[in-house]
Structures are given as C-alpha cells and as structure tokens.
Structure 1
Amino acid sequence: MNPRHEITSRQNERVKHAAKLRDARQRTKQGRFIIDGVREIGRALDAGIGLAEVFLCPQMCSSPAAQELLSRLDHSGAVVAEVTGDVFEKLAFGGRSDGVVVVANTPDRNIDSLELPANALVVVLERLEKPGNVGAILRSADGVGVDAVIVVDPQTDLFNPNTIRASVGTVFSRQIYTATTEQTLARLRHWGVCLFAARPEAELIYTEIDFSQSTAIVLGSEATGLSSAWQQADVKGIRLPMKGIADSLNVSTTAAVLLYEARRQRE
C-alpha cells in the first residue's frame, strides 16, 4: 500500500496537470485522461486500466461504495493524495461529489488487436462528434453484449469526460477499438461480416434485415452522415420508419433500436 500525501493548494503542480486533462489536446500530449465517479473508476479498475494518480477528499467519501473503492485504490499502485474540498472542486467534472478523481494512462485501442468470434455482432461509429452520443451508444452496446465497437475517424477522443460519464464506465471495455474507415472496411470484409449502414434515405426497413448472421451495424455523424466509403455494393442501407416530420432519430437512439433488434433475432 502506497502512503497518502496531502495537497491543500489549487496551485499544486500535480493538481494543475490533472485539471488540464479536461482538454483533449492535453489528454493527447500527456497520454493520460481523468476519471470521475465511484462507479466509473471501479469499472476502469475491473477492465485493467492502469491508474497513475488518485485524488480523494476524505470528508466526501462517506458512502459504502466509496469506502470500498478507496481500499482498492490503496492497492492499485497509483500515487494517492488526500485533497481539500477546494482542491477537489478544481478537479471534479460536472459537479461530481463522490470525493474521488483518478488520472489513468490511456490504453491502446488499435484495431490491430481485434479478433472476432464466429457470427459476431459489431458496431461501427464513423466520425461521431458528440461525446455524449458516443457514450450512450457504448452503454447500449454493452447492454446488448456486442463483440466489438469500432470508433472510426473519431471527432472526439474516446476518453472525453462526457463519453465516460454517458457510458457509465462501459467505455473501458477491452472490446472497443479505434481505426480509420479504410482499416475498418478491410478488416470486416476479410472476416466476411455483413455490413448494414443506417441511412435515413435507405429503402430497406431494419425489421427486414437478418441480423442473426455475422453483422456490423454502421452509424455516422448526425451532421454529415456516413462517408461515401459506406455506399459501396456490399454495404446495405437500412432505416427506421419515421411517421412524423423528422427524418431520423438521434444517433444513440437509432443505435439502441438496431442493436436490440439484432439481439432479439439472435435469441
């Protein structure tokens, strides 16, 4: 167990470096990211995410879940610092009051390490720009039990605090990868995965599709849709029926509908 240090100043260098991790450029530069919340930190530990630093405010860590987590963190190998409420306020994201924040080392999520089982179910997210949508989709993917999520040409980094929060920590799954569109298409074709791209103008309704075969469901940015790479002959366009004036649903809602239909068919 590492000894705990005490930090009382918001100007402490470790505190300042950790607070900078709210910025994507700093996450890239430092090769680290920040995690708030007892549940999210616990799931990071469960997934084997390497922790570098722990900042905890003892008077805020009163819940049984927080106390259990602190015991795990004391044995994590990370540097543990007790901070004042004022210092913790500088570190915490979105008004979180769980009393603990950690700095983690960014894991490698390169698609080169991806291996798919037979009859796989895969989600591909191309150029999604809103971290909350990415996180919500990861949560649905976890609930359905997909075999892999491939985040393609992302417009927001995978460990954005909003992504972590919206995913309730499921972003730490080992089955989430990043890649380019070209890499993703090449891999999925090599494995013989059937490709289904969600597009509002598609002719096929999603309930007309056989998702029980090896399947990749591809979703794109709400602003710009999918790139032309997903309009090739071996990619089938699918859509949800829309009876009102809107032509599509939020991308995270669309993902949930499609994924649970795939799971229904497979069961």
Structure 2
Amino acid sequence: MKVGFIGMGNMASAIASGCMDANFLKVEDCYAYDIGTYKIAESYAIHATNSEKELVELVDVVILAIKPNVMESVLEKIKDSVQDKLIISIVTGYDCSRIESFLPGSAHLTVMPNTPAMVSQGMTLLEAMHTFNEQQMEYAVSLFESIGEVVILPTYQMKGATAISGCGPAFFYMMIEALADGAVLQGVPRDIAYKLASQTMIGAGTMQLETKIHPGVLKDNVCSPGGITIKGVKALEENGFRNAIIQAVEKSSN
C-alpha cells in the first residue's frame, strides 16, 4: 500500500517516521504534499509531490493532516480523485458525517493520534462511525498499532478522549518541566532532573496500565503517614492541581 500525507506538520511527521521505524511502511511507498515537504523528504527520502491531486493519484491511502481552516478547500481539490482511495483524516472538527457531506460514497475514517507515535508509544483514537469495509478497517488498525495503542470510540466520546491523548502530551511535558525546575531549585543538575521526571512518569503510567490498580490507590501506596510525599500532595491540592487538570481537559474538549 502506498501512503500519502497531505500536510506534513509535527503530527504527520510523527506518524510517518514512526511507521517507517516500525517497518510498517517502506520509505519508497511514502509520499507527501506540503509547502514544507522538503523537510521530511530530506530526512526520510520520501516522495514529494507538487499538488494534493497529484499525491492522491499516486497512492492507495491518503492521510489528511492539514489545518481545519483549509480542510474544505483541500477536499474540493481531491474529491474527484478519491473514489478508489482510503481516506484517513486526523483533522480536528471533521467527524465521519461531516467528511461524508464533502466526499459522499468515499471510504473514509477519522482518527486522532498523538505525537508519541514518533517513538512507537502513540495513543490513537479511531471513530467507530466510518465508511471503511472490514478489510480496510483492519489495515487502519494495523497501521496505528505499529506506532502504539489503538482505541475505537463512538463519535460523541472523541472530543473528550482527544483532550487526554491528543492534548495530554503537552500537559505532561509541562509537568516534566515543572518537576525538573523544582529539582533544579534543590540543586539537581538539569539533565538529571529531566531524566528523573520523564522516567518516573513512564514508570507510573506503565505500572497503572499493567496492574490496572486505581490511580488513587497507587498514589496512597506512595504516601507514608507524615511522610514527604503526602506533604507534596497537600501542596498540589492547595494550589488547585486536580481542578487545573480537569479544566484543561474541559477546555480542550470544546
């Protein structure tokens, strides 16, 4: 299957590089169109095309990774060339029903990936409503499983879930930076502080996934009576930590 990316920003680059590193896609089977295509083409030697329509005509699978404000103009350009193509959209605000109104009768699927796909630790959401057949859906699932985990959700849950997996990496990076700043304040070298914060976050997440123990219980297990951890928890609560996270998810869902 030849795969083409319309739009090669950070997310598309993460998917492309992750899939190639995982050997799911071969470099020679990848195409891209973007005003900045030369960047990814230079890095991975993938084919750069001169237009959206040219790309669609050369590939089997089209991944739309463009800004929402240009989505309709791009769909207008390619609508007559997508009849036998698989369309995978990662464009925010365009669910199955909305894409169907622009590309009636086409095979399309809306997904919401995240940037850790670049290191094969992605979390991708697939909309349960789609126009793929069973074999096409299996291909899409396999593609995104090559770069991480996949969850299929009903349309109404996509926004709230995207606020966690799609926007969440930014929130976690902010926490890593803040934890490191705190450690630097206490005299820990910056590079070591980043390593401590990042690995601790990886370890905590992996522990919850593998044990499936409620995160509140895992938190309690770290908090000894009168110990240093519960003092830190108290400081977080006094500064509205949980409320800030909940509001961040709420705002990112709108």
TM-score, normalization: structure 1? Answer: 0.31
Higher relative contact order, structure no. (Cα contacts within 8 Å, ≥ 6 residues apart)? 1
Structure richer in strand, relative to its length: 1
